[in-house]
Amino acid sequence: MIINKVEICGVNTAKLPVLSATKMRELFEVMQAGERAAREQLIYSNLRLVLSVIQRFNNRGEYVDDLFQVGCIGLMKAIDNFDLSQNVKFSTYAVPMIIGEIRRYLRDNNPIRVSRSMRDIAYKALQVRDSLVSRFSREPSINEIADELKVPREEIIFALDAIQEPISLFEPIYHDGGDPIFVMDQISDDKHLDLSWLEGVAIKEALRKLSEREKHILTLRFFEGKTQMEVAEEIGISQAQVSRLEKAALGHMRKYI
């Protein structure tokens, strides 16, 4: 993702203007009186806000042009809904709206689908968390968020986990100048433990001690998943004979494992 490119979606970002607070207020007053040209100027003059926000998402693998366009939608919503009577800087009001629009875009384009009810709980929990941080000047606990929302603690935890962005197993998490350590290097795999590998070797060795007929029956039964009746039909003996040969073969193998 290239953040420092000069042109994004046909906009030369190096030449974007910066307006004073007084000029911004004048434009908002004119726009709210019905002048569309003032709205256009407000949008163009605040595109730097969008640029600053999309840099927070530079590790998502998304095209910068796509994020910029989505961020512009958030900017326009902020401009259309900004209340001059509130003693709040426009950037303070607009940045959360731009972030929210980009997060919705990333969420809706996430290959892992999360139910709407689950997402609603998660985003309400995040809003409550921000409110409690402002109130207490510290990070609130999950229990405090749950009490505020009147939602069980477990549902809050599950919902917040559900909206986390997946990361690649090949995401580097540490680099000391040599080979990087990836996420996959920190995950155990029960299917490929040394014990499982040794058991596999022992089974192969035990199979070699069987007769060709016994090996054939066990291969059909346990590697190809056929029933005893299907094995009987294939090799031309009765199902009862297949059962006896199978049990005898397994008994022989146990001696070598």
235 Cβ neighbours under 8 A, 6+ residues apart: 213, 216, 217, 220, 242
Domain locations along the chain = 1-109, 111-174, 190-254
Q: Are 3 and 64 in contact (CB under 8 A)?
A: yes
How far is residue 125's CA from residue 131's CA, in Å, rounded to a whole number? 10
Task: Assign a CATH topology to domain 111-174.
Answer: Arc Repressor Mutant, subunit A (1.10.10)
**CA–CA separation, 33 vs 104, rounded Å?**
31
| CATH classification code of 190-254 | 1.10.10.10
CATH number given to 1-109: 1.20.120.1810
Alpha carbons 107 and 163: distance in angstroms, whole number: 8
What is the crossing angle of helices 228-235 and 239-254, to 10°?
110
Residue-by-residue DSSP string for 47-87: HHHHHHHHGGGTTS---HHHHHHHHHHHHHHHHHH--TTS-
Same topology for domains 1-109 and 190-254, yes or no? no
Render pLDDT for 133-162 as a digit per residue (tens, 0 to 9): 888 888 889 899 999 999 898 888 888 877
pLDDT at 182: 61
Per-residue model confidence (pLDDT) at position 1:
41
| Selection from 244, 139, 141, 253 nearest residue 203 by Cα | 253
Q: What is the pLDDT of residue 5?
A: 47
99: Cβ contacts below 8 Å, ≥ 6 apart: 53, 56, 74
The whole-model pTM stands at: 0.43
DSSP assignment of 105-127: HHHHT-SS---HHHHHHHHHHHH
Residue 76, token pair as written in the block: 């326009």
pLDDT value of position 181: 62
Per residue of the chain (257 residues), give pLDDT as tens. Answer: 444 445 555 566 666 777 788 888 898 998 988 888 999 989 888 888 888 888 888 766 677 888 888 999 999 999 998 888 887 888 888 888 898 888 888 877 765 566 778 878 888 888 888 888 888 888 889 899 999 999 898 888 888 877 776 666 656 665 555 566 666 555 555 555 555 555 666 677 777 888 888 888 888 888 888 888 888 888 888 888 888 888 888 888 877 66
Cα 109 from chain centroid? 10
Contacts of 93 (CB under 8 A, 6+ apart): 78, 82, 86
Distance (Å) of CA 172 to CA 123, 128, 169, 175, 186:
28, 32, 8, 7, 11
**Could you read off the pLDDT of 161-206 as tens digits, one per residue?**
777 766 666 566 655 555 666 665 555 555 555 555 556 666 777 7
What is the per-residue burial (b if ≥16 Cβ within 10 Å, else e) of 7-33? Answer: ebeebebeeeeebeeeebeebbebbee
